[in-house]
A and B are shown apart, each in its own frame.
Chain A
Amino acid sequence: MAQVFHRSINWVAKFSIIAILGLVGGLFSVLLNINRLDYVSGVGVARDQPVPFSHKHHVTGMGLDCRYCHTSVETSAFAGIPPVETCMTCHSLIWTEAPLLEPVRAAFRDDVPLQWTRVHDLPDFVYFKHNIHVSKGIGCTTCHGAVDQMPLMKKAETLNMEWCLSCHRNPAQFIRPRDRVFDVNWTPPADQELRGQQLVKDYNVRVSQLTDCSVCHL
């Protein structure tokens, strides 16, 4: 039987071995890194909302505390999305004619909840609890970024598991005094690592257990 391929074509066989290895490797690195892309994780993307609510205006401009609206953040897993009654506490008297606020007034009038688009949505197999984080000295801005500077709400972090673990492995780098948890202007001091280790001790954070599967995936 005659040779099908000429001998000068042999490089194709050698090259294809490398090419297949490269292709498989490339495919793996794409699969491994795809969740790190802002396009996939939604970092920095402002979603469409029924009302273009500005945290910047309400927090920086008006000086409202996070808890004025997110009332259940200290006591429950869910921080709480305020009912329109909370909006109307002021907006029944201020900006009463503003067309932008018509959905709020309509919701209040007709007793139909506003349907906000969720910005921070964890997978359903993750059981995140706001109350424990807040009570152990993890501040709002550590995970949510500079919300006080956001005219429209955006995710500041990927909320990927590797991101959660980066803190669960070493919370000392982010933990702050309890009375600064809701302080949007808090920045880590120069000796954060040292102070953080002390706070981890003071607040009885058991770091060795923080990476147990069952801590987040009950």
Chain B
Amino acid sequence: MNRALMHVIQLMVLCGALLVSGCDLRQRMYDQPKYEAHEATTFFDNGLTSRGPIEGTIARGQLRLDAHLFTGKVNGELATVLPPSIPFGKDLLERGHERFDIYCSPCHGRTGEGNGMIVQRGLKQPPSFHEARLREAAIGHYFEVMTNGFGAMYSYASRVPVEDRWAIAAYVRALQFSQRADFDKLPAQDQGQLP
């Protein structure tokens, strides 16, 4: 009988050990020896797992030769038209509308008057897009400001891709136009809406 009891105890210890090792294995599967996005590392000095490109190198497909598209300038002058690779149309304006509301409206306001919520809470007020100076500014100016920042405004180059920056610039133009539209050119339906 004592031997039988010993066997039972041995079996129980074995089962217990298996269960505990299961927890450990489970934990190791949950957190595998690989890095997730933004996970910290001790391997590199700065603690980042992601490596930036080596200075002076360009990744395949990221050579930016098209000055008009990537800098908003043609021969050093601010571009007055969209780059040829950005086709103008309703899609572009709708995309610009959406991106403007996400990234620009917090300060510039949804109508571009410069009275966004962040401004109401104390940020320096940006100029209205409806001033004569900005109405007359080249479209490349808006792209250039979004890309490099201007005054208190930070660069949005790392947050808004190139195509979206052009879409926003086009939408700013549409906003400006919306405030100074010719009454006679409005569709009859819209004319009826005005007092």
Q: Which A residues lie at the B interface, using CB under 8 A?
A: 62-65, 67-68, 71, 77-78, 81, 83, 85-86, 88-90, 92-94, 112-113, 115, 123-125
Size of the B side of the interface (Cβ < 8 Å), in residues, is 27
Give the distance in Å from the alpha carbon of A65 to the alpha carbon of B118 in the complex: 13
Tell me, in angstroms, the Cα distance from A62 to B117 when the chains sit together.
6
Q: List residues of chain B with CB under 8 Å of any chain A CB.
A: 29-32, 34, 36-38, 40, 46-48, 101-103, 106, 117-118, 121-124, 152, 154, 158-160
- Alpha-carbon distance A123/B31, docked complex (angstroms): 6
Structural contact, B158 and A85, CB atoms closer than 8 A: yes
| Distance from B64 Cβ to chain A, minimum over Cβ atoms (Å) | 19
Besides the known contacts A62-B106, A93-B124, 6 further A-B residue pairs in the complex with CB atoms under 8 A apart: A62-B121, A63-B117, A68-B102, A78-B37, A89-B154, A90-B118
- CB-based contact A125/B29 at 8 Å: yes
Contact of A86 among B36, B48, B159 (CB under 8 A): B159
Q: Which residues of A contact B122 (CB under 8 A)?
A: 93-94
In the assembled complex, the CB of A28 is this many whole angstroms from the nearest CB of chain B, namely: 12
Contact call A63/B106, Cβ cutoff below 8 A: yes
Q: Which residues from chain B contact A62 at a C-beta distance below 8 Å?
A: 106, 117-118, 121
A158 CA to B12 CA in the complex, in Å?
A: 33
What is the chain B residue whose CB lies nearest that of A82? B159
Which chain A residue shows the least CB distance to B149? A89
Residue pair B30, A123 in contact (C-beta under 8 Å): yes
State the CA gap A92–B38 with chains docked (Å): 24
The answer, among A64, A113, A125, for a CB contact under 8 Å with B48, is A113
- Which residue of chain A has the shortest Cβ distance to B104 in the bound complex? A68
B161 to chain A: closest residue by CB: A75
Q: List 11 A-B contacts (CB under 8 A).
A: A62-B121, A65-B102, A67-B102, A89-B154, A92-B152, A93-B124, A94-B123, A112-B47, A113-B48, A124-B31, A125-B32
B102: A residues at CB distance < 8 A? 65, 67-68
Complex interface: chain B residues within 8 A of A81 (CB): 38
A123: chain B residues at CB < 8 Å are 29-31
Query: Which residue of the partner chain B has the closest CB to A76?
Result: B37
Question: Considering the complex of A and B, which 9 residue pairs feature the smallest CB-CB distances, nearest first?
Answer: A78-B37, A124-B32, A123-B30, A65-B102, A89-B154, A71-B159, A67-B102, A63-B117, A62-B117
Contact present for A124 and B34 (CB under 8 Å): yes
> In the complex the two chains form, is A88's CB within 8 Å of B154's CB?
yes
Interchain CA distance A89-B40 in the complex, whole Å: 24
Q: A71-B159, A94-B118 are in contact. Are A65 and B101 (CB under 8 A)?
A: yes
B106 with A64: CB separation less than 8 A: yes
* Contacting pair B38 A78 (CB below 8 A): yes
A113 / chain B contacts, CB cutoff of 8 Å? 47-48
